[in-house]
Chains A and B, each alone.
Chain A
Amino acid sequence: MAAAAALAEAIASLDVRFGARTVTAVTAAAERAEQRRSFTDTSFDRISGGIGPGEIVALTGEGTCGKVTLALRAVAGAQRDGGMAMWIDPARSFDALAAQRSGVDLACVIVVRPRSRDEILLAAGAGLRGDGFRMVVVDLGPSFAQIASPDALSSVVPRVRGSTAALVVVSDSPAMRISLPTFVFERAGWESRHGRTTGWSVAVRRLGDARSDPALLEAAV
């Protein structure tokens, strides 16, 4: 009895620290996680395996490389059975029409516009609590307009593991001091017709994995 009570207290402590339902039967948790993975319906899914609850994914790359569009597609994937998403937008650059064209249900996206690093952390922490959101995207914006780097999210990272939401971080440069599962977007080439650029292709690789084939994404201007 005493051992059972002590175990219950220990589980309660983990629930308090990392969020409710952290400790659960392994098979039940695995089933739930598999059912709730979000997919982008691009070749990115092949190298990422989708994005599941309690997981972090960082999408990085300079300039026009498609990382924001892919993040929008991830949101659309997370919304597939009606889930809500939070898009944290300190650069105030959320493109509603582009989001809709990527399959995002705008009625199920809350856009938060923090004005400081602390407000970004406040919003991310709140979005990861409870069952409200399937996905939280922190879009740090283009480098010339960034008010925080990915390293600033270090205090939020421990909250992701017990969350029922996935965290996607979008930035021009990868984190330098914290370890995040990162996918790097590098432009493979420009498409042109009659001497005019009409699109581009991008290779996406998991950071640190140069041996595997990258995912190739294409976009039109």
Chain B
Amino acid sequence: MARAVAVVHLRGEVSDARHAKVLEALSRLLPKVGVEGPGLFACDLRGTERLLGPAERVGERIVATLERVKIPCAVGIAERPFAARVAAERAPAGGVVRIRPGEERAFLAMLPLSALPLEEESRDELALLGIRTVGAFADLDSGAVLDRFGRAVALTHALARGQDAGEVRGMPPRRRIAARRAWDTPVAAREQLLFILKSLLDGMAAELAQEGIAALRIDARFEREDAPPLRIERVVLPPTSDASALLRSVRWGLEEVPGADGIGQVVGARVEVTEVEPARGRQIGLFAPDGANEDEAMAVARYLRSRLGPDAVVRARVSDADAALAEREAEWEEAVS
């Protein structure tokens, strides 16, 4: 399945308890669930088609699941979270609205500017220019918008054009999960630095496990004697509370540090988990269920795709074993989107 995000919009009163209940229910159903706001959840549907079926069916299942516990909602589905969110907010309770890929901009075009996250002042200024719809706003030149209104409005302009980043963000942890250490003798070797980080990450992994959460994004900052601090931000896929998986993610980040000088002379490290998801109780290990191994294999595939580019990490499917032309025997597709 190409990229698809389902945004779930709860109707009626949204208490903390109801919000937490829905988050737990969605996290049991889907691999990646982010929180957009109280009673508003974004679910990344990439990679779920094989197990859960088409996106619309997933949306219907979400509505049915929440209806059973008397929580009305609506679901919007699109390639980008913003269009999916607008669709969810405007759909009737119990509705599932799918915006087809490439139609986000057209969908948003007829809506009033109030559908966009704009300061009232900016909205008023645009109205003075005769711009009252999302479509009219999207038609403006992006450079001109940046010059006239600044970066915040330029980002909103990208939303209007259906160009938001499209990533589902996890939720921040309830309490800070971070560790830091400083040392006197600079460390320049990657393996030595990783050895130090291992003990930091062991402690953080234990905290994650205790809270019943898994790290989705980690932020590592290294103080250096001879250079500005080095910062590495990693999205951890699949989300995990496993210390060796966290260390592996940081290792890959360090390996991507450009330049022949490597990491420099490191004298301190601080690591923080900035986004989490509810843990799913999966153990990744030598004899883990194959679903867990496949998750890890796909994480490696995603990493290689990011390094090697399009058409470099692929999967084949035999489509016609009797094809007259050999090149038509199989179809190839990107292994990860």
Interface with A: B9-17, B66-74, B222-230, B310-318, which one?
Answer: B310-318
| B290 A96 Cβ-Cβ under 8 A | no
Q: Provided the pairs A12-B198, A97-B330, A126-B300 are in contact, do residues A131 and B316 lie with their beta carbons within 8 angstroms?
A: no
Beyond A122-B308, A130-B248, is A111–B296 a contact (Cβ under 8 Å)? no
SS of A interface (majority)? mixed
CA distance A32 to B288 in the complex (A): 12
The answer to whether residues A132 and B248 also contact, given A113-B314, A123-B304 and a CB cut-off of 8 A, is no
The residues in A between 98 and 128 inclusive whose CB is less than 8 angstroms from any CB of B are 99-100, 106-115, 119, 122-123, 126-127
Interface residue? A164 (CB, 8 A)? yes
Interface residue? B244 (CB, 8 A):
yes
Interface of B (DSSP majority class): helix
Interface residues of B in 258-300 (CB under 8 A from A): 284-288, 290, 292-300
Is B195 a contact partner of A12 (Cβ separation < 8 A)? yes
Contact present for B288 and A131 (CB under 8 Å) = yes
A179 at the interface (CB under 8 A from B): no
B321 near A: Cβ within 8 Å?
yes
A197 located at the interface, meaning its Cβ lies under 8 Å from any Cβ of chain B in the complex: no
Q: How many residues of B contact A (CB 8 A)?
A: 43
Q: Which A residues are CB-close (under 8 A) to B286?
A: 21, 32, 131, 164
Going nearest first, the 8 A-B pairs with the smallest beta carbon separation are A132-B297, A96-B330, A132-B296, A96-B316, A82-B290, A84-B297, A20-B244, A97-B329
Complex A-B: 25 CB contacts under 8 Å: A12-B195, A16-B195, A17-B191, A82-B290, A83-B290, A83-B293, A84-B294, A84-B297, A96-B316, A96-B318, A106-B318, A107-B317, A110-B300, A111-B316, A113-B311, A114-B308, A119-B307, A126-B300, A129-B300, A130-B244, A130-B300, A131-B285, A131-B286, A132-B293, A132-B295
Further 8 A-B residue pairs, CB within 8 A, beyond A84-B297, A109-B315, A131-B284: A13-B195, A32-B287, A94-B316, A112-B314, A113-B308, A114-B308, A115-B312, A130-B300
